[in-house]
A and B are shown apart, each in its own frame.
Chain A
Amino acid sequence: MSETIEADVVIVGAGPVGLFAVFELGLLDVRCHLIDILDKPGGQCAELYPEKPIYDIPAFPIITGDGLTENLMAQIKPFDPTFHLGEQVNGIERLEDGSFRVTTDADKVFLTKVVVIAAGGGSFQPKRPPVPGIEDFEGKSVFYSVRKMEAFRDHDILVVGGGDSALDWTLNLQPIARSVTLMHRRDAFRAAPDSVNKMRALVEAGEMKLVFGQVTGLEGANGHVSHAVITDNDDQEHRLPTTRMLPFFGLTMKLGPIANWGLNLHENLIKVDTEKFQTSEPGIFSIGDINWYPGKLKLILSGFHEAALMAQAASRIVFPDKKILFQYTTSSTSLQKKLGVT
């Protein structure tokens, strides 16, 4: 059963630029829904460099990716946006009245007057390890996340990776699995030391196996793995009975379904004008790293500027009869009321 949500603006992407768009639209009385494939706001700032310093945000000599996200979340709080996280937008189609129908992979349907694509480098997807033929097993016996633990009960599970996801799922699935093997390319783990210690204790007790190497092949039929071929760090091949494999190699960015939305593209980026940051489809705007125009600079600060100009044009679509007054937050009492500071 799909859920239908009526909206004024749907923002695709909850990175810094998508978040700041909520602010600029909010000042113009437009409320937003944000959709992001990650399970948290912040986009690349949250996923790629949460703790790394950024030096070119105006008025912040130094701020981390997480710091920037937290500040933006605080800044947009008065405008109470609705977040739809862990969801990917699959389709955008125009309805007869000129508005849009936006659908997600979580079976949500948005009926919205405006779409703002602030999708950065595209959607984050799990990295697929370079194992020949792995595609044939995905979704049946090779998974990049665990949605239901029961699907792993009594299986021979091979977890690959050295970060928190790999260690957490090794520990969570070990009690219900027939066997668990954790494989990593080296004897050093990025995961929390506590998890690593627990894992090592299980290995000592003979409750699970730890191997170092890479998966170089998968055997099986009809999507069901029977054995993983492992090449260890001495170049020796082993066949490991495996009926479930969980690779955790982080995320990579792919343009994803955006290519199918009928928008004019320039080398996989969405072409926009520099007055409204509107795409070739009126009512669909695009801001931040995902757009392109002559002179484009992929900087967060450019995305902020684009958000402000987009908001002026988008609000005219949402409220066609309303006169927009240009106001400053320093002096306008009506803006200050919206921000909840007076």
Chain B
Amino acid sequence: MAKITYIAFDGTPYDIEARDGTTVMENAVRNAIPGIEAECGGACACATCHVYVDEAWVAATGEPEAMEEDMLDFAQDVQPNSRLSCQIRVRPELDGLIVRIPERQG
């Protein structure tokens, strides 16, 4: 299990307990956290689950792979700490992870 904090665009924090092996996107959708659309359902095919990883967690979450980097071209207002949350898998080392949700996904 890992605690994940999602910070919505309006600043509201949402804390959830996520099971290892699930994705940061799945946990957001399951808990109805506003601002994660995930149109394609986690296939890394739509760039509507874009999040900004808190600077302190960028190293732990790692770099996007080439396919994710390509999909990020379709996301809006991409920053160096941008990730697609369907490609971040929960593991014990990510306990305490903080991600911020952009103003909009599409």
A interface residue numbers (CB < 8 A to B): 44, 48-49, 52, 121, 127, 129-130, 161-163, 184-186, 188, 190, 214, 249-250, 252-253
**Shortest Cβ distance from residue A43 to the other chain B in the assembled complex, whole angstroms:** 12
**Closest chain B residue to A190, Cβ basis:** B70
Are A130 and B104 in contact, with the CB atoms below 8 A?
yes
B48 at the interface (CB under 8 A from A): yes
B103: nearest residue on chain A (CB-CB)?
A130
Q: A49-B45, A130-B103, A250-B47 are in contact. Are A190 and B73 (CB under 8 A)?
A: yes
Q: How far is the CA of A186 from the CA of B70 in the complex (A)?
A: 10
Contact partners of B72 in chain A: CB under 8 A = 185
* A interface: dominant SS: loop
Stretch at the interface among B18-26, B54-62, B74-82, B93-101: B74-82
| Contact of B78 (CB < 8 Å), options: A121, A163, A185 | A185
Task: Tell me the smallest distance from the CB of B88 to a CB of chain A, in Å.
Answer: 19
| Complex interface: chain A residues within 8 A of B69 (CB) | 186, 188
Contact B40 A127 (CB under 8 A): no
Which residues of B have CB within 8 Å of A162? 73
Given A48-B46, A52-B45, A130-B104: A250 and B39 interface contact (C-beta under 8 Å): no
Contact B74 A250 (CB under 8 A): yes
Contacts A130-B104, A252-B48, A252-B106 known; A44 to B40 CB distance under 8 Å? yes
Known: A121-B39, A250-B47, A252-B39. Contact between A127 and B74, CB under 8 A?
A: yes
Find the A residue at minimum CB distance from B76: A130
For this complex, into which size category does the number of interface residues on chain B fall?
A: 10 to 19
With a CB–CB cut-off of 8 A, which chain A residues contact B104?
130
- Inter-subunit contact B73/A129 (CB<8 Å): no
A129 touching B45, Cβ below 8 Å = no
User: What is the CA–CA distance of A44 and B41 in the complex, to the nearest angstrom?
Assistant: 11
Instruction: Looking at the assembled complex, report how far the CB atom of B34 sits from the nearest CB atom of chain A, in whole angstroms.
Output: 14
Known: A188-B69, A214-B78. 8 other contacts (CB 8 A): A48-B39, A127-B74, A127-B76, A162-B73, A163-B73, A190-B73, A252-B39, A252-B106
A13 to B65, CA, bound (A): 33
Option from B43, B74, B78, B106 in Cβ contact (under 8 Å) with A49 = B43
Nearest Cβ on chain A to B17's Cβ, whole angstroms = 26
The one of B40, B45, B70, B76 in contact with A249, judged by C-beta atoms closer than 8 angstroms, is: B76
Contact A49 B40 (CB under 8 A): yes
Give Cα distance in the complex from A184 to B104, angstroms. 20
Complex CA–CA separation, A163 to B71 (angstroms): 10
Contact across chains for A129 and B76 when beta carbons are under 8 A apart: yes
Docked CA distance A250–B70 (Å): 12
Instruction: Give 27 A-B contacts (CB < 8 Å), ordered by A residue.
Output: A48-B39, A48-B40, A48-B43, A48-B46, A49-B40, A49-B43, A52-B43, A52-B45, A127-B76, A130-B104, A161-B73, A163-B73, A184-B73, A185-B73, A185-B78, A186-B73, A188-B69, A190-B70, A190-B73, A249-B73, A249-B74, A249-B76, A250-B47, A250-B73, A250-B74, A252-B39, A252-B105
CA distance A20 to B18 in the complex (A): 38
Interface centre among B70, B73, B105 (most CB of A within 10 A): B73
Give the CA-CA distance A48 to B45 in the complex, in Å: 6
A52 vs B45: C-alpha distance when bound (angstroms): 9
Chain B residues whose CB sits within 8 angstroms of the CB of A127 once the complex forms: 74, 76, 106
